[in-house]
Structure 1
């Protein structure tokens, strides 16, 4: 792995330099300063929040645990890494910079965050400083110039080969952990115990994951961002939905799977239908595909599933036009993914920062661009039975078009969501998630054979 990353990294950093050159020119600046981020503390307390590195910083190098460090880039010069390695016996001190990437930087070690001031460009007015307000260092106040940030955010959608390797590894880590979570569900474990099984298989702590895991048994699957994690299993388990990812050098995977208990064959039929539809949506992740159009297409397909399986009496077209489909599928089809789970630039029309509006009836869509090669997106259709949305539907003009006995019988399952991370290429898309599950299954089978 290290050999592969070492071979791909030079082109990656050359690409970032080209983007930075253009971004600085667009903003009229000479230097790019990027903070790794500050450590934050709870209000009126000395307890720190989990540190999160700046996405702009980790785009350049796989360093995710070095707060108060800086990256300095001047066109034509070698990038400089100002790396805080404090004298500290209270906490773990970041290891000295090393690895395949280190030779590409002039590295300056500092022992106090304030020492960085002497190593930064002297003409502050000529610096584009990308950082949070808490990273202010003397007179170096983050300005986050729009022209620079917009350019970098727009280009972040296009992943280098180096980044695609990172995302493949993150997907494999996530798939391995999903296998463990599925096994724990079939063993009758609680949400909390399933979470522990996931963490153990991922070999990552909760604060290392790209987002808080959504681990739902039964009706909890109807809560889109459910994170409570009950400590004890319910008296009867009907279904299981898990939305969870993994991280690798700061890159994220985002995976969702839904399972039915052995007795819930009716729910399994719904899962199978959504899974089949989801694979078709993934296959449409092609160059020149409008993502909003794909989202609307997904509504029509899911509405037809609702009709075929006896939840609604109206046509799929009527269900979409009337908004009925949105009561069952109330979120967007997906989003960009990379250094952030909901990666930036999803609404940008161009490098200047002009935006592409969401469809009026679909306010939760997170991506409105037309797909291009090297973009990586999630595809996550769902059908849910959410009490609040169903109550509104029941009071509305189309209540008689809903088969309420069928809908009510499915409330105990919560809902279905299937999510994959997919790369748009010049030809057929690359499904990172399905490939990772296939590789994980192969590894499990080989281990079983090897173990006799």
Structure 2
């Protein structure tokens, strides 16, 4: 039986991080790994702070996402240390004292003021790899982010531990709950802002807690890939709804997209169904040893087949790909790594010592170029859009005859379609983390 309890899985996760850190430090010639949790950022000429975002290198070790001015220290052969900032403060809520299944694995030092960390950090700063943002500097302790250490840790972070996968499954459960509430709000005629609020209420997270800003797009707004305006008036007539929204679980993200047609818009609903079927085939193609770049190219051919079937495309899918026509309808990448960050790191890494695998020519927005390995979790998010500026470029490039423009005019008011799941690469068949949760929600 698959173990989904993160507390039970955490000791092995921590052991993996310790082994990785030990190797990374040896490569960089350092004795200690020091990771600040990060600090608050403030508005210019103001005393208001932006929402706090924890250092991903910190939350990889600890299920703590709201403890600024704290530190993680790892020295090979010793228990890792957490310097836990718990200030005396009556202006803000103070973090609870350290508790839970992680505390027994650390030496914990509680500090009341940020500068108290200075006496608890390793004595020789020159022997430390300090991973963080420049603003995390404390006294002489400035992050140096040495490339040999960062490259190694980020490259291997692409392969998730069972603990991480368990938390990502939890994020799926929350995200699907929100998606179901959002669809219901759409079916009831709600505007974009109200749909967004229904999503947040169902997930139990506000906009600052979600892993990214919700994309809630009605009708033509779905043609704006990162539409986040949240209109307060529902368009009339209501034709379509695209939602790209995730949730957070102890620092791990989900990233899910669905598209729906309003009642009576049957042909667009049929196109959604065709993209959905193609997307599931793409998800099933996630295999260890498969080049993600090829999956992206294959997605172009599959999606152009959909447009051909619906009379939008006059040429073959292969011709559309070779002439750049396909990029006008599918202008983004097939997906990305996901985990501690929505667009997780090292998507282009050639190896754990650095280097870069470039994107294929003509595909500037692909976010992952690596060969898939067991433990990687990737998003698969094909899309078809009717974007005027890109379609105008097709005409200017001399390929207007490749498209039936009357069919484009028919579909343009719907904006576009995007379907996105998260898929775990295993030693065998792909493990779709998203679809089972929707199936349970339907049940």
For this structure pair, what is the TM-score category when the shorter chain's length is used for normalisation? Answer: over 0.9
SS for the counterpart of 2:434 is helix
Answer whether contact 1:380 1:419 (CA < 8 A) is retained.
Answer: yes
* Aligned Cα root-mean-square deviation (Å): 1.1
SS for the counterpart of 1:289 is coil
1:4 Cα deviation from its structure 2 partner: 2.3
SS for the counterpart of 2:42 is coil
Cα distance in structure 1, aligned partners of 2:51 and 2:6: 28
Cα distance in structure 1, aligned partners of 2:5 and 2:227: 38
Deviations 1:155-205 (A, max 9, x none): 101111100100000001000100000000000000000001000000001
Deviations 1:415-442 (A, max 9, x none): 0000000000111111111011122223
Cα distance in structure 2, aligned partners of 1:3 and 1:292: 31
* 1:85 partnered with 2:86: yes
> How many aligned residue pairs are there?
442
SS for the counterpart of 1:39 is coil
Cα distance in structure 2, aligned partners of 1:283 and 1:404: 33
Q: Which residue number in structure 2 is paired with residue 445 of structure 1? A: none
Aligned ranges 1:399-418 → 2 under 5 Å: 399-418=400-419
- Cα distance change of structure 1 residues 3 and 164 upon mapping to structure 2, 3 Å threshold: closer
* 1:237 partnered with 2:244: no
Deviations 1:283-335 (A, max 9, x none): 00111110000000000111111111100110111000000000000000000
Q: Which residue number in structure 1 is paired with residue 360 of structure 2? A: 359
* 1:431 partnered with 2:438: no
Cα distance in structure 2, aligned partners of 1:3 and 1:83: 28
Q: Which residue number in structure 1 is paired with residue 289 of structure 2? A: 288
- Structure 2 unaligned segments of length 5 or more: list them: none
- Cα distance change of structure 1 residues 2 and 351 upon mapping to structure 2, 3 Å threshold: closer
Answer whether contact 1:2 1:100 (CA < 8 A) is retained.
Answer: no
Cα distance in structure 2, aligned partners of 1:387 and 1:174: 31
Q: Which residue number in structure 2 is paired with residue 347 of structure 1? A: 348
Cα distance in structure 2, aligned partners of 1:185 and 1:243: 14
Cα distance in structure 1, aligned partners of 2:8 and 2:175: 25
1:378 Cα deviation from its structure 2 partner: 0.1
Q: Which residue number in structure 2 is paired with residue 191 of structure 1? A: 192
Deviations 1:131-174 (A, max 9, x none): 11111011111100000000000010111110010000000100
Cα distance in structure 2, aligned partners of 1:2 and 1:192: 38
Aligned ranges 1:372-451 → 2 under 5 Å: 372-442=373-443
SS for the counterpart of 1:240 is strand
Q: Please give the TM-score of this superposition, normalised by the length of structure 2.
A: 0.99
Q: Which residue number in structure 2 is paired with residue 275 of structure 1? A: 276
Cα distance in structure 2, aligned partners of 1:2 and 1:402: 50
* 1:102 partnered with 2:103: yes
1:369 Cα deviation from its structure 2 partner: 0.3
Cα distance in structure 1, aligned partners of 2:389 and 2:280: 29
- Cα distance change of structure 1 residues 2 and 122 upon mapping to structure 2, 3 Å threshold: farther
Moved more, 3-12 or 157-166: 3-12
Q: Which residue number in structure 2 is paired with residue 119 of structure 1? A: 120
1:394 Cα deviation from its structure 2 partner: 2.3
Cα distance in structure 1, aligned partners of 2:6 and 2:314: 54
Q: Which residue number in structure 2 is paired with residue 307 of structure 1? A: 308
Cα distance in structure 2, aligned partners of 1:241 and 1:117: 49
Aligned ranges 1:48-197 → 2 under 5 Å: 48-197=49-198
Cα distance in structure 1, aligned partners of 2:241 and 2:7: 40
Answer whether contact 1:252 1:340 (CA < 8 A) is retained.
Answer: yes
Answer whether contact 1:347 1:355 (CA < 8 A) is retained.
Answer: yes
Cα distance in structure 2, aligned partners of 1:98 and 1:3: 20
Deviations 1:105-126 (A, max 9, x none): 0000000001000000010100
SS for the counterpart of 1:83 is strand
SS for the counterpart of 2:359 is coil
Cα distance in structure 1, aligned partners of 2:316 and 2:156: 41
- Cα distance change of structure 1 residues 3 and 251 upon mapping to structure 2, 3 Å threshold: closer
Answer whether contact 2:4 2:166 (CA < 8 A) is retained.
Answer: no
Cα distance in structure 2, aligned partners of 1:31 and 1:25: 10
1:3 Cα deviation from its structure 2 partner: 9.1
1:2 Cα deviation from its structure 2 partner: 11
Cα distance in structure 2, aligned partners of 1:185 and 1:4: 34
Cα distance in structure 1, aligned partners of 2:266 and 2:6: 45
Q: Which residue number in structure 1 is paired with residue 251 of structure 2? A: 250
Cα distance in structure 2, aligned partners of 1:97 and 1:132: 24
Cα distance in structure 1, aligned partners of 2:83 and 2:94: 15
Answer whether contact 2:350 2:356 (CA < 8 A) is retained.
Answer: yes
Answer whether contact 2:185 2:195 (CA < 8 A) is retained.
Answer: yes
SS for the counterpart of 1:422 is strand
Cα distance in structure 1, aligned partners of 2:357 and 2:3: 39
